[in-house]
Amino acid sequence: MTNALKAKFAQLPNQHRMILITMIVLLALAVATWLWRAQSDAASAKGKKGGAVEVVSAVATQSDISIKLTANGTASARQTVEVRPQISATIKAVHIKEGRFVHQGDLLFTLDTRTETANHSKAQAQLAKSRADLANAERNLERQRELFQQKYISQAAYDTAQNQVDGLRGQLAVDQAAVDTSRVALSFGAITAPIAGRTGAIAVYPGSLVQPNGPALLSITQIDPINVSFTLPEREFVPLQQALARGEVPVTAVLDATNQKVRKGKLSFIDNAVDTTSGTIRLKAEFHNADNQLWPGMFVTVALSPQTLKNAITVPVQAVQTGPEKKFIYVIGEENKVNAVQVIVQLIQDGIAVIEGVAAGTRIIVEGGQNLRPGSVVTEASTGGAEAGKDSGGGKKSRKKPDQPGSSSGEKSGKAVQK
């Protein structure tokens, strides 16, 4: 804009200037709209007049598809035991180092059991005394029986002797039980590992006073085999239950760290109730862990396939178009003319879609569908593009992950879609 025009524009009233600016904007919009419609009409006319549209096509295939479910899981110990003393005593010796692996029955601690040893000796002495008293009472009863048979003593005297023997026999049983009790208490002086596993921190040292109701001496965690806990949406409960009834359900796990091998395990637990807060059900899988790569508290990604879709029709997922009402795909018919066919999407998984509505072997449009109308004539794009389109339906199957609000341990990967 020249200086003269600027000066004239500045002299115009504000209202006139706003009108002028509005007219310029409207004119620009009209020109842009006309150009866009002209390009669209040209493309449409090209299709109607027989101009072939380049596309990438593929063939719908039929195969068995395993529905893969994935979730984020947490490794957890199969069992954890806190080691506590059974008697009040002082630590005499510690036979292990913290953080080491122990086997079931390994000696962990030795307690000072001098008091228990003395009590055991006292109980044994009392038992010996009771045996001697019983033997004397039995000899006396035998003499009393002979005298009673000869009518030298009364029935009351004989009953008194018999009662003494019976009482001493009862006392002997009490003393025997006392000896057994003291023997058990004495055995508590040697604390052994109740399970095999890895020990935690040791909280006591030689000379420490320990009590049954005091802190644990240490904990032992069993990590081989190890469990992985995870959750899945409640809609997967029935397929999981049916798969478990048929036999073992394989489960794989991958650590979140890179370059980790896939670990194989099996489903071992389905909870007996659904979490009403999140709408999920808790599960556990068991894995061998001889190399100790899985550690309690680790996050892992688990996957399992409880069911398989038999003879499913699959196409590359990008072949599925979304219409105003339903989903459809473009099918190539005679003379390379396309036709829109409505389909029902059952599953989207790892770059493929399992659909209903077309037969196996049908040629479908994978790329270029945005430029097509029913009846358009198509031609295959360059070889590189066609191969890329066909390869898009290959590979392993992995399910799309939908959001699962409230799920604490993971999300289901994949979702059966009904449209």
CB 278 within 8 A of CB 405: yes
Amino acid (1-letter code) at residue 131: R
Mean pLDDT (the chain) is 83
pLDDT digits (tens, 9 = 90+) for 190-233: 999 999 999 999 989 999 999 999 999 999 999 989 999 999 99
> Is the Cβ–Cβ distance between 251 and 232 less than 8 Å?
no
pLDDT over 80 (residue 11): no
| CA trace torsion 84, 86, 88, 93 (10° rounding) | -60
pLDDT at 387 over 80: no
Residue from 223, 221, 229, 195 nearest 293 by CA: 223
Backbone angles phi, psi at 260, to 5 degrees: -105, 135
Domains defined for the chain, CATH in brackets? 53-65+310-391 (2.40.420.20), 70-78+227-309 (2.40.30.170), 82-220 (2.40.50.100)
pLDDT at residue 165 greater than cutoff 80: yes
Phi, psi of 407 (to 5 degrees): -80, 125
Taking the alpha carbons of 55, 56, 59, 60 in that order, is the dihedral positive or negative? Answer: negative
What distance in Å separates the CA atoms of residue 155 and residue 158, rounded to the nearest whole number?
5
pLDDT one-digit tens code per residue, 80-113: 999 999 999 999 999 999 889 999 999 999 999 9
pLDDT tens, residue by residue, 40-66 = 555 554 444 456 888 888 999 998 888
386 pLDDT above the threshold of 60: no
Average pLDDT over residues 395-402: 38
Measured distance between the N- and C-terminal CA atoms of the chain, rounded to whole angstroms: 58
pLDDT for the residue numbered 41: 58
What gap in Å lies between CA 89 and CA 212, rounded to an integer?
Answer: 9
Q: Looking at 197-288, list the stretches that DSSP marks H as alpha helix, in order from N- to C-terminal side.
A: 237-246
Distance CA 330, CA 317 (A): 13
* Band of pLDDT at residue 151, cut at 50, 70 and 90: confident
**How many Å apart are CA 121 and CA 153, to the nearest integer?**
41
Inter-CA distances, 332 with 42, 46, 95, Å: 23, 18, 78
Name the pTM for this structure: 0.60
Average pLDDT over residues 324-331: 87
Low-confidence winner among 181-185, 194-198, 227-231, 374-378 (lowest mean pLDDT): 374-378
Instruction: Extract long-range pairs of 371-376: CB within 8 Å, 24+ residues apart.
Output: 371/43, 371/47, 371/53, 371/55, 372/47, 372/53, 372/55, 372/330, 372/338, 373/44, 373/47, 374/338, 374/339, 374/340, 375/47, 375/337, 375/338, 375/339, 376/47, 376/53, 376/337, 376/338
Q: Which residues pair with 312 in a beta bridge?
A: 63
